[in-house]
Structure 1
Amino acid sequence: MRMVFRWFGEGNDTVSLDQIRQIPGVEGIVWALHDIPAGEEWPMDKILEVRDQADRYGLHLDVVESVNVHEDIKLGLPSRDLYIQNYIRTIEKLAQVGVKVICYNFMPVFDWARTDLHKATEDGSTALFFEKAKIHGIDPMELVRDITANSALTMPGWEPERLAHLGSLFEAYKNVTEEDLWDNLEYFLSAVVPAAEKNGIRMAIHPDDPPWPIFGLPRIITGRDNIRRFLKLYDGPANSITLCSGSLGANPDNDIIRMIHEFHDRIPFTHIRNVRVFENGDFIETSHRTQDGTVDIAGIVKAYHDNGFTGYCRPDHGRHIWGEECRPGYGLYDRALGIMYLWGVWDSLERARTVSAQKEAVL
């Protein structure tokens, strides 16, 4: 398991590269050019700038999250071919600086949704919270105002250029079905994955967050059966998944450990985080500790260990603790604690394997 840490760039993150390199076992950053609108080709000079920044702190940039997919591609519009070609040229540039994995998603309009970015918890920390009933009864524009008003930093998936056209986007998706979205995804994969394969990069789609339709928008990467269908669209290692335990874990019916055992050779990148799901369908993000949430984090790490996982792992969202002011979900402290929890489980499994081997050798 290779530990990495998401970083949003100088001037756009409260966490510094110097702090990231001090977290035990972290070897690289998960990055993107967040100021480049979806669909545009990434400039090489900006890519090299991030590479040089990471190099100064001994961190690699093997994983990009995300090269965003333009809405015209998801909608299947004639203009999609232009944006796909831009995407392919970006892939070629990223290969030149050693990128191995590109995490992306195919969620219409919103990359993720929460109803409260700072929900107070029993211990005084705050965390991202999803109130299911509120989503069903809220105007999407009201949610946008709440989200953007509570963050001074740009929020991935909630970029201003995307939100400026929210009304027209909802109108464009009015008659788009799940099967339409599947068809448009297959069209995208048929063009992009061969280019990634040629350049030694694995495309790793992120599950929908939360893993069910919201605001009448279709969502298709939601559970085991759909992931199985997705992987068959282009049956090769360059077409892979970013398995996110928090996104999938918001639906208790998702057996994430079973997914890891089934799909482990198609998981080059994993997000590990915990959520507590309530009986009414609401959920709140918790510490990474298994006992604090609904998701069996220790069991998930064991499943990866059992399958000899050598891919990249990052602690996903964290709570806001110890008075830290940061991008919602992306502070330093709780994610660093999460890393140490994940390493603790992993190291204990490694130790148990070593002791078992030594005993067998004696016998």
Structure 2
Amino acid sequence: MTHTYDALWTWLRTGAWIEGATRLLLAVGIVVAAAIVARLVVRLLRRLRDRSRIGRPLIYIVEKLAGYALVIIGVFIGLSTLGINLTSLAVFAGAVGVGVGLGLQGVVREFVSGLVAIFDPFVNVGDFIELENGIRGEVTEVGPRATRIKTNDGLNVILPNSKLIETQVVNWTLKDGTRRIHVPFSVAYGVDKVRVRDVVLDAARAVAFTLPDTDSRKTQVWLTGFGDSSLNFELVVWPTVDAVRRPSAMHAAYTWAIEDALRGAAIEIPFPQLDLRVRSLFGREEDAGLRALGLQRGEPHVPATPAPGHPSPNDAADALIADAEEAARLKKAAEGA
């Protein structure tokens, strides 16, 4: 015990502790400085990514790798400053690695999956995806453990990175491409199919986010089947990429436009009911039979046209148009900056 006290006293008296404390403070300072620099670099690259419309996935990869690399380099330099021989840690690191691999294999798995997701060309930050459980949203961040997906309802879904690369994912906006959507609707038996087609096509093309027809992408109306009391149709249409990012609102907007068009053309939309049809009443048919019963055929409904400067009653379409205008404004501001 006396020998230990003598050695400690000698160490304090010679001032060796000052050099050790200085190295420790310097090492801590290097690690802290590396972390600060990494954070600043990440913020700078994030601003560049937000303003850029091209190469955003590549910028995101550089952002993540730069953040990790700067912190790791700072830690190694800090250890070297303390006089620790990093090569002597190889055996120790191997032993510790086995324990970490067994105890933290889930964490390591998610971290590696995150690196794979960052370099994966099929799912990038900014893409609108749909998971197997039906959740749809925009990929906003790929972290070391999980990926954050923001839905159109403002919900943040935290998805383990391994799920992103191991399960089926539908990418609605891969390579900024649009997609064809199908909007089903029904009309009563006996209507003119060609008239239904023309009315619905005109309504769909009048929607602001419908893309113009090309040789490979055309707005069409298909007769898909025969229901119990209806002819079943589908509107097949190609919307803009901005509209694709909000599929529920897009579907609602087209449904509203179809109902307005059919009602305005006095085309009957069937619903479950039991109809008793009398084809002749005392030798009178159709309008003459209605007049004999004291009834008259109703006038066709014409949808109200919104006044100039006022929004239309189609809220879903207005929301999509407003989003597209805001995106165009931000893009113009970024290009100007």
Does the TM-score normalized on the shorter chain lie above 0.5?
A: no
Which bracket does the TM-score occupy, shorter chain normalised?
A: under 0.3
Larger radius of gyration: 2
Larger fraction in helix? 2
Scaled by the length of structure 2, what TM-score is found? 0.20
Scaled by the length of structure 1, what TM-score is found? 0.19
Higher relative contact order (CA 8 A, sep 6+): 1
